[in-house]
Structure 1
Amino acid sequence: MKNVMAQAVSFLLLTATAEASPQTLFDALNEQFSYMQAVAAWKRDTGSPVEYSGRQARLYTQRQLVNDANAAADNGLHYERAHDFFEARYAATNEIQYCLITQWTEDESAPVQYKDINEVVLPALTGLRTTIIESLAEETITSEHEKAFKETIQVDCLSEETKDKLFNTLLKLK
Protein backbone atom coordinates (compact mmCIF):
# COMPACT_ATOMS: atom_id res chain seq x y z
CA MET A 1 0.00 0.00 0.00
CA LYS A 2 2.85 2.41 0.84
CA ASN A 3 4.44 1.72 -2.54
CA VAL A 4 1.19 2.47 -4.39
CA MET A 5 0.76 5.68 -2.41
CA ALA A 6 4.36 6.74 -3.13
CA GLN A 7 3.84 6.08 -6.85
CA ALA A 8 0.63 8.11 -6.83
CA VAL A 9 2.35 11.02 -5.10
CA SER A 10 5.26 10.82 -7.57
CA PHE A 11 2.86 10.83 -10.51
CA LEU A 12 1.01 13.87 -9.16
CA LEU A 13 4.25 15.76 -8.58
CA LEU A 14 5.51 14.98 -12.08
CA THR A 15 2.16 15.99 -13.59
CA ALA A 16 2.10 19.24 -11.62
CA THR A 17 5.67 20.02 -12.67
CA ALA A 18 4.94 19.38 -16.34
CA GLU A 19 1.85 21.56 -16.24
CA ALA A 20 3.61 24.34 -14.32
CA SER A 21 6.52 24.69 -16.72
CA PRO A 22 4.76 26.55 -19.55
CA GLN A 23 3.18 28.88 -17.00
CA THR A 24 6.59 29.50 -15.42
CA LEU A 25 7.91 30.42 -18.86
CA PHE A 26 4.95 32.66 -19.67
CA ASP A 27 5.16 34.38 -16.28
CA ALA A 28 8.90 34.99 -16.73
CA LEU A 29 8.35 36.48 -20.19
CA ASN A 30 5.57 38.72 -18.91
CA GLU A 31 7.74 39.86 -16.01
CA GLN A 32 10.64 40.53 -18.36
CA PHE A 33 8.37 42.59 -20.60
CA SER A 34 7.03 44.51 -17.59
CA TYR A 35 10.57 45.68 -16.79
CA MET A 36 10.64 47.43 -20.17
CA GLN A 37 8.73 50.35 -18.63
CA ALA A 38 11.70 51.08 -16.35
CA VAL A 39 14.14 50.51 -19.21
CA ALA A 40 12.18 52.84 -21.50
CA ALA A 41 11.91 55.51 -18.79
CA TRP A 42 15.65 55.31 -18.12
CA LYS A 43 16.44 55.52 -21.84
CA ARG A 44 14.10 58.47 -22.25
CA ASP A 45 15.64 60.31 -19.28
CA THR A 46 19.21 59.64 -20.37
CA GLY A 47 18.56 60.31 -24.05
CA SER A 48 19.67 56.79 -24.91
CA PRO A 49 18.13 55.24 -28.01
CA VAL A 50 15.97 52.14 -27.73
CA GLU A 51 18.29 50.48 -30.23
CA TYR A 52 21.83 51.63 -30.77
CA SER A 53 22.84 52.03 -34.35
CA GLY A 54 26.09 51.27 -36.01
CA ARG A 55 28.22 48.24 -36.53
CA GLN A 56 29.41 47.91 -32.92
CA ALA A 57 25.83 48.03 -31.58
CA ARG A 58 24.66 45.40 -34.07
CA LEU A 59 27.56 43.17 -33.09
CA TYR A 60 26.72 43.58 -29.40
CA THR A 61 23.05 42.73 -29.98
CA GLN A 62 23.99 39.77 -32.15
CA ARG A 63 26.40 38.54 -29.47
CA GLN A 64 23.62 38.68 -26.87
CA LEU A 65 21.31 36.70 -29.14
CA VAL A 66 24.05 34.16 -29.84
CA ASN A 67 24.81 33.82 -26.11
CA ASP A 68 21.14 33.18 -25.35
CA ALA A 69 20.79 30.70 -28.21
CA ASN A 70 23.99 28.92 -27.11
CA ALA A 71 22.69 28.66 -23.55
CA ALA A 72 19.43 27.23 -24.86
CA ALA A 73 21.32 24.78 -27.09
CA ASP A 74 23.41 23.73 -24.08
CA ASN A 75 20.06 22.85 -22.48
CA GLY A 76 19.06 20.63 -25.40
CA LEU A 77 17.23 23.06 -27.68
CA HIS A 78 17.77 23.51 -31.40
CA TYR A 79 20.20 26.44 -31.82
CA GLU A 80 18.62 28.19 -34.85
CA ARG A 81 15.11 27.89 -33.48
CA ALA A 82 16.24 29.19 -30.10
CA HIS A 83 17.96 32.08 -31.86
CA ASP A 84 14.68 32.85 -33.66
CA PHE A 85 12.84 32.87 -30.32
CA PHE A 86 15.37 35.19 -28.67
CA GLU A 87 15.32 37.47 -31.70
CA ALA A 88 11.50 37.66 -31.49
CA ARG A 89 11.72 38.32 -27.76
CA TYR A 90 14.28 41.09 -28.36
CA ALA A 91 12.00 42.65 -30.99
CA ALA A 92 9.12 42.51 -28.51
CA THR A 93 11.12 44.35 -25.85
CA ASN A 94 12.00 47.04 -28.37
CA GLU A 95 8.38 47.36 -29.52
CA ILE A 96 7.29 47.93 -25.92
CA GLN A 97 9.98 50.56 -25.33
CA TYR A 98 9.27 52.46 -28.55
CA CYS A 99 5.54 52.48 -27.86
CA LEU A 100 5.91 53.66 -24.25
CA ILE A 101 8.34 56.44 -25.15
CA THR A 102 6.00 57.58 -27.92
CA GLN A 103 3.03 57.62 -25.53
CA TRP A 104 4.97 59.54 -22.91
CA THR A 105 6.16 62.07 -25.46
CA GLU A 106 2.66 62.64 -26.78
CA ASP A 107 0.91 63.04 -23.43
CA GLU A 108 3.83 63.95 -21.16
CA SER A 109 3.05 61.05 -18.83
CA ALA A 110 6.49 59.51 -18.41
CA PRO A 111 7.08 58.06 -14.97
CA VAL A 112 9.00 60.39 -12.70
CA GLN A 113 10.37 57.49 -10.67
CA TYR A 114 11.20 54.02 -11.86
CA LYS A 115 13.16 51.00 -10.71
CA ASP A 116 16.93 51.47 -10.61
CA ILE A 117 18.43 50.03 -13.77
CA ASN A 118 21.72 48.81 -12.29
CA GLU A 119 20.52 47.71 -8.86
CA VAL A 120 17.12 46.22 -9.69
CA VAL A 121 16.32 45.86 -13.38
CA LEU A 122 19.49 44.34 -14.83
CA PRO A 123 19.88 41.72 -12.07
CA ALA A 124 16.19 40.83 -12.42
CA LEU A 125 16.50 40.51 -16.20
CA THR A 126 19.53 38.26 -15.78
CA GLY A 127 17.60 36.00 -13.42
CA LEU A 128 14.62 35.94 -15.76
CA ARG A 129 16.92 34.99 -18.66
CA THR A 130 17.98 31.91 -16.71
CA THR A 131 14.39 31.04 -15.81
CA ILE A 132 13.31 31.42 -19.44
CA ILE A 133 16.10 29.23 -20.80
CA GLU A 134 15.49 26.53 -18.18
CA SER A 135 11.74 26.63 -18.79
CA LEU A 136 12.23 26.39 -22.54
CA ALA A 137 14.33 23.27 -22.04
CA GLU A 138 11.80 21.64 -19.71
CA GLU A 139 8.64 21.98 -21.75
CA THR A 140 7.43 21.53 -25.27
CA ILE A 141 5.00 24.30 -26.12
CA THR A 142 2.00 23.24 -28.19
CA SER A 143 -0.90 25.12 -29.73
CA GLU A 144 -2.92 24.10 -26.67
CA HIS A 145 -0.80 26.52 -24.62
CA GLU A 146 -1.67 29.56 -26.74
CA LYS A 147 -4.62 30.68 -24.63
CA ALA A 148 -2.55 30.59 -21.42
CA PHE A 149 0.28 32.42 -23.20
CA LYS A 150 -1.99 35.23 -24.41
CA GLU A 151 -3.75 35.49 -21.04
CA THR A 152 -0.40 35.75 -19.26
CA ILE A 153 1.40 38.17 -21.57
CA GLN A 154 -0.48 41.32 -20.57
CA VAL A 155 1.93 44.19 -21.11
CA ASP A 156 0.97 47.53 -22.55
CA CYS A 157 2.38 48.25 -25.96
CA LEU A 158 2.89 44.67 -27.13
CA SER A 159 0.88 44.07 -30.28
CA GLU A 160 -1.10 40.92 -30.95
CA GLU A 161 1.01 40.42 -34.08
CA THR A 162 4.21 40.40 -32.01
CA LYS A 163 2.66 38.07 -29.44
CA ASP A 164 1.68 35.72 -32.27
CA LYS A 165 5.18 35.80 -33.71
CA LEU A 166 6.73 35.12 -30.32
CA PHE A 167 4.33 32.24 -29.63
CA ASN A 168 5.02 30.75 -33.06
CA THR A 169 8.74 30.69 -32.31
CA LEU A 170 7.93 28.81 -29.10
CA LEU A 171 5.98 26.23 -31.09
CA LYS A 172 9.04 25.54 -33.27
CA LEU A 173 11.63 25.18 -30.50
CA LYS A 174 11.57 21.40 -30.16
Structure 2
Amino acid sequence: MRLMPFLLCFIVTLLGCSSPSQPELKPLLAAIGQRLDLAYSVAVHKWDNGLPVEAPAREREVLQQVQAAAHDYGLTRERAAAFFADQIEANKIVQYGLIDRWTALGQRPPQHAQDLAKELRPRLDMLQARLLFELADLDRKPLHDCPRQLTDALARYASDPLRHTALVRATAQLCVER
Protein backbone atom coordinates (compact mmCIF):
# COMPACT_ATOMS: atom_id res chain seq x y z
CA MET A 1 0.00 0.00 0.00
CA ARG A 2 2.79 2.44 0.82
CA LEU A 3 4.28 1.79 -2.57
CA MET A 4 1.15 2.82 -4.45
CA PRO A 5 1.61 6.65 -4.27
CA PHE A 6 5.22 6.25 -5.35
CA LEU A 7 4.23 4.06 -8.32
CA LEU A 8 1.50 6.46 -9.40
CA CYS A 9 3.91 9.39 -9.23
CA PHE A 10 6.52 7.42 -11.20
CA ILE A 11 4.00 6.46 -13.92
CA VAL A 12 2.74 10.05 -14.24
CA THR A 13 6.34 11.25 -14.51
CA LEU A 14 7.09 8.73 -17.26
CA LEU A 15 3.97 9.65 -19.18
CA GLY A 16 4.79 13.32 -18.84
CA CYS A 17 8.27 12.78 -20.22
CA SER A 18 7.24 10.75 -23.21
CA SER A 19 4.65 12.87 -24.94
CA PRO A 20 5.29 16.63 -24.69
CA SER A 21 8.71 16.96 -26.27
CA GLN A 22 7.74 16.50 -29.94
CA PRO A 23 11.36 16.02 -31.07
CA GLU A 24 10.17 15.47 -34.64
CA LEU A 25 8.83 19.03 -34.74
CA LYS A 26 11.78 20.83 -33.15
CA PRO A 27 14.04 21.20 -36.22
CA LEU A 28 11.22 22.46 -38.42
CA LEU A 29 9.89 24.83 -35.76
CA ALA A 30 13.40 26.16 -35.18
CA ALA A 31 13.78 26.92 -38.90
CA ILE A 32 10.34 28.54 -39.02
CA GLY A 33 11.36 30.58 -35.97
CA GLN A 34 14.51 31.78 -37.71
CA ARG A 35 12.45 32.92 -40.68
CA LEU A 36 10.07 34.75 -38.34
CA ASP A 37 13.05 36.40 -36.63
CA LEU A 38 14.03 37.86 -39.99
CA ALA A 39 10.52 39.31 -40.34
CA TYR A 40 11.48 41.82 -37.65
CA SER A 41 14.38 43.13 -39.74
CA VAL A 42 12.23 43.11 -42.87
CA ALA A 43 9.64 45.20 -41.02
CA VAL A 44 12.34 47.67 -39.97
CA HIS A 45 13.48 48.02 -43.59
CA LYS A 46 9.92 48.50 -44.83
CA TRP A 47 9.16 51.02 -42.06
CA ASP A 48 12.29 53.04 -42.76
CA ASN A 49 11.69 53.06 -46.51
CA GLY A 50 7.92 53.54 -46.49
CA LEU A 51 7.37 50.22 -48.26
CA PRO A 52 4.18 48.18 -48.00
CA VAL A 53 4.22 44.83 -46.25
CA GLU A 54 2.67 43.19 -49.32
CA ALA A 55 5.22 42.25 -51.98
CA PRO A 56 3.32 40.16 -54.55
CA ALA A 57 6.18 39.90 -57.06
CA ARG A 58 8.58 38.64 -54.38
CA GLU A 59 5.98 36.20 -53.08
CA ARG A 60 5.48 34.75 -56.57
CA GLU A 61 9.26 34.45 -56.96
CA VAL A 62 9.62 32.55 -53.68
CA LEU A 63 6.75 30.20 -54.53
CA GLN A 64 8.25 29.51 -57.97
CA GLN A 65 11.65 28.78 -56.39
CA VAL A 66 10.27 26.29 -53.88
CA GLN A 67 8.13 24.58 -56.48
CA ALA A 68 11.19 24.16 -58.69
CA ALA A 69 13.20 22.73 -55.77
CA ALA A 70 10.44 20.55 -54.29
CA HIS A 71 11.35 17.37 -56.18
CA ASP A 72 14.94 17.54 -54.88
CA TYR A 73 13.56 17.14 -51.36
CA GLY A 74 10.97 14.49 -52.15
CA LEU A 75 8.10 16.95 -51.88
CA THR A 76 5.35 17.68 -54.36
CA ARG A 77 5.26 21.11 -55.90
CA GLU A 78 1.88 21.65 -54.25
CA ARG A 79 3.11 20.70 -50.78
CA ALA A 80 6.14 22.98 -51.03
CA ALA A 81 4.10 25.89 -52.38
CA ALA A 82 1.37 25.53 -49.74
CA PHE A 83 3.93 25.36 -46.94
CA PHE A 84 5.79 28.42 -48.18
CA ALA A 85 2.59 30.35 -48.77
CA ASP A 86 1.98 29.78 -45.06
CA GLN A 87 5.51 31.02 -44.24
CA ILE A 88 4.92 34.17 -46.28
CA GLU A 89 1.60 34.86 -44.57
CA ALA A 90 3.15 34.25 -41.13
CA ASN A 91 5.92 36.73 -41.90
CA LYS A 92 3.35 39.30 -42.96
CA ILE A 93 1.51 38.81 -39.65
CA VAL A 94 4.73 39.69 -37.81
CA GLN A 95 5.46 42.65 -40.07
CA TYR A 96 1.93 44.07 -39.80
CA GLY A 97 1.92 43.56 -36.03
CA LEU A 98 5.26 45.28 -35.54
CA ILE A 99 4.47 48.18 -37.84
CA ASP A 100 1.17 48.65 -36.02
CA ARG A 101 3.01 48.76 -32.67
CA TRP A 102 5.55 51.22 -34.00
CA THR A 103 2.85 53.40 -35.53
CA ALA A 104 1.07 53.56 -32.17
CA LEU A 105 4.37 54.57 -30.53
CA GLY A 106 5.27 57.00 -33.30
CA GLN A 107 8.63 55.31 -33.90
CA ARG A 108 10.27 51.95 -34.24
CA PRO A 109 12.70 50.62 -31.64
CA PRO A 110 16.33 51.51 -32.28
CA GLN A 111 17.91 48.85 -34.43
CA HIS A 112 20.48 48.88 -37.17
CA ALA A 113 18.56 48.69 -40.44
CA GLN A 114 19.59 45.97 -42.86
CA ASP A 115 19.23 46.14 -46.61
CA LEU A 116 16.34 43.99 -47.79
CA ALA A 117 17.80 43.00 -51.15
CA LYS A 118 21.46 42.64 -50.19
CA GLU A 119 21.28 41.28 -46.63
CA LEU A 120 17.86 39.93 -45.70
CA ARG A 121 16.63 38.21 -48.85
CA PRO A 122 19.82 36.14 -49.24
CA ARG A 123 19.34 34.91 -45.66
CA LEU A 124 15.68 34.14 -46.37
CA ASP A 125 16.70 32.28 -49.53
CA MET A 126 19.25 30.20 -47.58
CA LEU A 127 16.55 29.28 -45.08
CA GLN A 128 14.37 27.97 -47.93
CA ALA A 129 16.58 24.93 -48.37
CA ARG A 130 16.58 24.15 -44.66
CA LEU A 131 12.82 24.57 -44.43
CA LEU A 132 12.24 22.28 -47.41
CA PHE A 133 14.60 19.69 -45.93
CA GLU A 134 12.91 19.78 -42.52
CA LEU A 135 9.41 19.66 -44.04
CA ALA A 136 10.35 16.62 -46.12
CA ASP A 137 11.93 14.99 -43.08
CA LEU A 138 8.76 15.53 -41.05
CA ASP A 139 6.61 14.18 -43.88
CA ARG A 140 8.67 10.98 -43.98
CA LYS A 141 7.85 10.21 -40.35
CA PRO A 142 4.21 11.08 -39.75
CA LEU A 143 3.28 12.18 -36.25
CA HIS A 144 0.74 10.32 -34.18
CA ASP A 145 -2.06 12.80 -33.42
CA CYS A 146 -0.25 15.55 -35.30
CA PRO A 147 -2.70 18.37 -34.48
CA ARG A 148 -2.36 17.78 -30.73
CA GLN A 149 1.42 17.43 -30.86
CA LEU A 150 1.72 20.58 -32.95
CA THR A 151 -0.55 22.56 -30.64
CA ASP A 152 1.42 21.43 -27.60
CA ALA A 153 4.73 22.29 -29.27
CA LEU A 154 3.55 25.74 -30.33
CA ALA A 155 2.28 26.50 -26.84
CA ARG A 156 5.79 25.96 -25.50
CA TYR A 157 7.65 27.52 -28.41
CA ALA A 158 6.39 31.11 -28.24
CA SER A 159 5.28 33.23 -25.32
CA ASP A 160 4.72 36.45 -27.29
CA PRO A 161 1.16 36.53 -28.69
CA LEU A 162 2.25 37.98 -32.05
CA ARG A 163 4.89 35.29 -32.53
CA HIS A 164 2.49 32.57 -31.43
CA THR A 165 -0.11 33.73 -33.93
CA ALA A 166 2.52 33.79 -36.67
CA LEU A 167 3.69 30.27 -35.73
CA VAL A 168 0.11 29.00 -35.85
CA ARG A 169 -0.22 30.50 -39.34
CA ALA A 170 3.16 29.15 -40.46
CA THR A 171 2.20 25.62 -39.43
CA ALA A 172 -1.41 25.69 -40.59
CA GLN A 173 -1.01 22.84 -43.08
CA LEU A 174 1.64 20.69 -41.40
CA CYS A 175 -0.87 18.10 -40.26
CA VAL A 176 -2.85 17.99 -43.50
CA GLU A 177 -3.02 14.51 -44.99
CA ARG A 178 -0.62 14.16 -47.88
**Which of 35, 47, 52 in structure 2 is aligned with 1:49?**
52
Aligned to 2:43: 40
- The unaligned stretches of length 5 or more in structure 1 are 1-18, 53-57
Confirm whether residue 157 of structure 1 aligns to residue 162 of structure 2: yes
CA shift for structure 1 position 152: 2.4
CA shift for structure 1 position 134: 0.9
8 Å contact 1:76–1:137 — kept in the other structure? yes
d(CA) in 1 for partners of 2:46, 2:167 = 24
Confirm whether residue 69 of structure 1 aligns to residue 67 of structure 2: yes
- The unaligned stretches of length 5 or more in structure 2 are 1-21
Moved beyond 6 Å, runs of 4+: none
3-state SS of 1:35 partner: helix
CA shift for structure 1 position 164: 3.6
> What is the TM-score with the length of structure 1 in the denominator?
0.72
Residues 23, 159 of structure 1: alpha-carbon distance in 2 compared, 3 angstrom cutoff: closer
Taking only the aligned residue pairs, the percentage that are identical comes to: 25
d(CA) in 2 for partners of 1:95, 1:152 = 17
CA shift for structure 1 position 35: 1.3
Residues 154, 130 of structure 1: alpha-carbon distance in 2 compared, 3 angstrom cutoff: farther
Aligned to 1:171: 175
8 Å contact 1:85–1:166 — kept in the other structure? yes
**Once the two structures are superposed, what CA deviation does each residue of 1:1-36 show, in whole Å capped at 9, x if it has no partner?**
xxxxxxxxxxxxxxxxxx755311100111110111
CA shift for structure 1 position 132: 0.7
What letter matches 2:65 in structure 1? N
Confirm whether residue 101 of structure 1 aligns to residue 66 of structure 2: no
**Is the radius of gyration larger for structure 1 or structure 2?**
2
8 Å contact 1:68–1:86 — kept in the other structure? yes
**Which of 70, 88, 95 in structure 2 is aligned with 1:90?**
88
d(CA) in 2 for partners of 1:73, 1:170 = 18
d(CA) in 2 for partners of 1:40, 1:80 = 28
Residues 122, 150 of structure 1: alpha-carbon distance in 2 compared, 3 angstrom cutoff: farther
d(CA) in 1 for partners of 2:177, 2:77 = 9
What letter matches 2:127 in structure 1? L
Aligned length: 150
8 Å contact 1:50–1:98 — kept in the other structure? yes
